[in-house]
A and B are shown apart, each in its own frame.
Chain A
Amino acid sequence: MNHFPETWGRPRDDVYGPYNHGYLQAPAPNQHTQSPIVTGTSVVAIKFKDGVVIATDNLASYGSLARFTDVKRLRKFNERTVIGFGGDISDMQHLDRLLNSLSIKENYQHDATDEEDTDGFSADNVHTYLSKVMYARRTKFDPLWNHMLVAGLDSDDEPFLASVDLLGTTFSSPSLATGYGAHLAQPIMRKVVPDEDAVDQVTEEQAVKVIKECMKVLFYRDARSLDNYSIAVIKKEGVNLKLDEKLENQSWQFAERIRGYGTQVN
C-alpha cells in the first residue's frame, strides 16, 4: 500500500498492470432530452372584450404518424383559467399532474362552495407558476418540451393571455399562437386585434369565428394537424370548454392549384 488514497483498494499495478482510470468515466457529457417524441402542434388564442378564446386540435403525432386522435390538449385549471399545450405530450401530462396537485392544494383552504371565490388562482398566477417550472427545468438543461398558452382572467377579471415556452420565455399579446400557428394563424388574428386597444371592440362571436378560421387554415397547411379540435371560451361567467369539435365548411379546391411536389411535379 502506498500513500495515494486514490489507488487504495485497486488492483496492484505490479501484479495486474497499470490501472485503467478511463474505465468508469463517462465517454461523453451527460445528455438529457434533445427532442420531443409524441407531439401536439399549434395552440391559438385571442382576447375579446369580456374574455379569451383558445383552441387546439386533438392530435398527438409520433413523428409524421398521426398516432393519437383523441388527445385533449386544453386543460381547465379553474373557473377562470385554461391552459393550451403544444409540444411533447408526455411532458404535457407531467405538467398536468403538477397543475392537478397545485389545484388540490389550492382547494384545501378555499372551498368550492364558497359564493365569492375570489381568492383562488387567477390566470396570471398560473402563468407565473408555469414559467418558473419551465425556467427551472431549462436551467437544469433538461427542459419540458412544451410551448403553452395560458388564457383566462387575471385577478381584476380582465382578459389575460400569455405564453411560456421550453426556455421559460414569457410573452403576452392580444392574440397568440404557438408552433405553426405562429406563422399561419397569427397574421389572421392580428387583423382583428392589432393592439391591446382593439380588444374592447371585439365580441365573443367575432373571436370564436376568427379562431375557427385559424384552425381551418392550420388544418389546410399543417401536415401534423387534425380537423378534430377543442375550443374554450373563458369569461367572468366561467369556462365553456368543448373537447370534440369538427371543422366545418372545408374546401380543398385550392389544393388542385398546388404545384411543385407530390405527383404534380411541374
Chain B
Amino acid sequence: MWLVSSSWVWLMCAKLLVARLATRKSLLPQRLKLQSYDLSNSVFSPDGRNFQVEYAVKAVENGGTAIGIRCKDGVVLALEKLVSSKLLKPGANKRIATVDRHVGAVTSGLVPDGRHFVSRAREESSSWRNMYKSPIPVSTLANRMGAYVQAYTMYNSVRPFGITAIVGGWDSEAEHEVDGQVGVGPSTGAGGKVEGEKHGGPFLYMIEPSGSYWGYYGAATGKGRQAAKSELEKLELSGNKLSLEEGVKAAAKIIYIAHEDSKDKEFELEMTWVSSLSGPTKGRHEEVPKALREEAERIAKKSLDEGDEDDAKMEE
C-alpha cells in the first residue's frame, strides 16, 4: 500500500514537471520572437517584417509635425518646432536646412539623425555639381537619399534613421549657367531640349526610415500628421492652382491645426520656401521673410479662434 501510494505521488510529481516543462516550452517561441527578430536590424521575422525599421518609425511619430506643400510656382516647407525649455534662445536653432541653393529639407524624429541626413544630402548635391557643373535635380536627390537611408536597414552593424524627411526644391526652368557667371555661353542655347516642352518646376518628396520615398503634392509627418494630412487634402493641390503665397498661409494654418492636440506645449513655427526664378526667392531655398510669416501666423490663429467660436455656437 505504501509502495503504491508513494509511486502514485511520484507519478503526480512527474506529471507536474512535464506540465511545467510544457508551459515553458509554449513560452519559448514567443521569447525567441522578441529576442531575435526585433533586436537586430536587417533581420526579417517569419511573417516578413523588419521590426527595427518599424520601431524607427515610432521615433518619427513623436517628433514635431513637419509638412511640405508643392504649389504651382514653388514649394513651402513648415515645421512645428516644440520648445522643450524656456532657456532655449528664441528664434535660434533652425531645423529646416538648406541642402543646395535650390533645395531644402525638413525632418521629423530624432534631431541628430536629421542633421546626419542633411549633411549627406549636401554631400550628394555638392558632388553632383562637381561632376556635372549643374544643380542636382530634386528627383535625383530624393532617389540618392532614399538609397542611402535604405542602406541603413541592410546591415546589423548600423541602425535605421529615426526620421522621416521632406525634401523640396525648384529645378531651374532656365538654361544652366555653365561655370557660374564666367562667360555668356552659346547664344543659341543648349541642345537636347525639346521645343515647347516644360522644363524644371517645383518638386516635393518624402523619405521614410525604410528608405522608400514618394513624390507628393502635400506631405506631412510627425505627431500631428493625421490632422495635417486631412487639411492638405482639402487644398486640392493636384489641380496645381495654389500660389506660393497662398501655400505659405495654408502651411502656417495647417501647423497650427496640427498643434491643437499638444496645445499645452509651446512651439515656434519655422517656414522656408523656394520659388521659380521669377518668384520672390529667384529659385533659391530661403527662410520665409519675417513679415510674411507673422502675417500668415496671425491669419492662422484668427481662423482657429473663429473655428472655436463656431463650435461654441453649434453647441448652443
Which residues of A does B touch, CB under 8 Å? 68, 70-73, 75-76, 92-93, 96-97, 99-101, 104-105, 107-108, 111-114
With a cutoff of 8 Å between Cβ atoms, the chain A residues found around residue B289 in the complex are 113
With a cutoff of 8 Å between Cβ atoms, the chain A residues found around residue B181 in the complex are 72, 75-76, 96
**Residue of A with least CB distance to B288:** A113
CB pair A72–B184 under 8 Å, yes or no, is yes
Q: Does B122 contact A (CB under 8 A)?
A: yes
CB pair B101–A72 under 8 Å, yes or no, is no
User: Would A75 and B98 be within 8 Å (CB), given that A97-B130, A97-B133, A112-B284 are in contact?
Assistant: no
Which residues of B does A touch, CB under 8 Å? 97-98, 100-101, 122, 126, 129-130, 133, 179-184, 284, 286-287, 289
Offer 24 A-B interface pairs, CB within 8 angstroms, sorted by A: A68-B183, A70-B183, A71-B182, A72-B181, A73-B182, A75-B180, A75-B181, A76-B181, A93-B182, A96-B180, A96-B182, A97-B129, A97-B179, A97-B180, A101-B126, A104-B100, A105-B126, A107-B98, A108-B97, A111-B286, A111-B287, A112-B284, A112-B286, A114-B287
Residue from A68, A93, A113 within 8 A of B287 (CB atoms): A113
With a cutoff of 8 Å between Cβ atoms, the chain A residues found around residue B284 in the complex are 112
Interchain residue pairs A-B with the least CB separation, the first 10:
A93-B179, A70-B184, A71-B183, A111-B287, A96-B180, A113-B286, A100-B180, A113-B287, A96-B182, A72-B182
Complex CA distance for A105 and B287, rounded to whole angstroms: 16
Complex CA distance for A114 and B101, rounded to whole angstroms: 15
- Besides A96-B179, A96-B181, A114-B287, 16 more A-B contacts (Cβ < 8 Å) are A70-B183, A71-B182, A72-B181, A72-B183, A72-B184, A76-B181, A97-B133, A97-B180, A100-B129, A101-B129, A104-B100, A104-B101, A105-B122, A105-B126, A108-B122, A111-B286
With a cutoff of 8 Å between Cβ atoms, the chain A residues found around residue B183 in the complex are 68, 70-72
Complex CA distance for A105 and B181, rounded to whole angstroms: 18
CB pair B182–A92 under 8 Å, yes or no, is yes
With a cutoff of 8 Å between Cβ atoms, the chain A residues found around residue B286 in the complex are 111-113
CB distance from A258 to the nearest CB of B (A): 34
With a cutoff of 8 Å between Cβ atoms, the chain B residues found around residue A75 in the complex are 180-182
**Residue of A with least CB distance to B280:** A113
CB distance from A245 to the nearest CB of B (A): 14
**Residue of B with least CB distance to A241:** B181
CB distance from B290 to the nearest CB of A (A): 8
CB pair A108–B179 under 8 Å, yes or no, is no
With a cutoff of 8 Å between Cβ atoms, the chain A residues found around residue B180 in the complex are 75, 96-97, 99-100
With a cutoff of 8 Å between Cβ atoms, the chain A residues found around residue B179 in the complex are 93, 96-97
With a cutoff of 8 Å between Cβ atoms, the chain B residues found around residue A111 in the complex are 98, 286-287
Complex CA distance for A117 and B242, rounded to whole angstroms: 32
With a cutoff of 8 Å between Cβ atoms, the chain A residues found around residue B182 in the complex are 71-73, 75, 92-93, 96
With a cutoff of 8 Å between Cβ atoms, the chain A residues found around residue B126 in the complex are 101, 104-105
With a cutoff of 8 Å between Cβ atoms, the chain B residues found around residue A71 in the complex are 182-183
With a cutoff of 8 Å between Cβ atoms, the chain B residues found around residue A100 in the complex are 129, 180
**Residue of B with least CB distance to A108:** B98
With a cutoff of 8 Å between Cβ atoms, the chain B residues found around residue A99 in the complex are 180
**Residue of A with least CB distance to B284:** A112
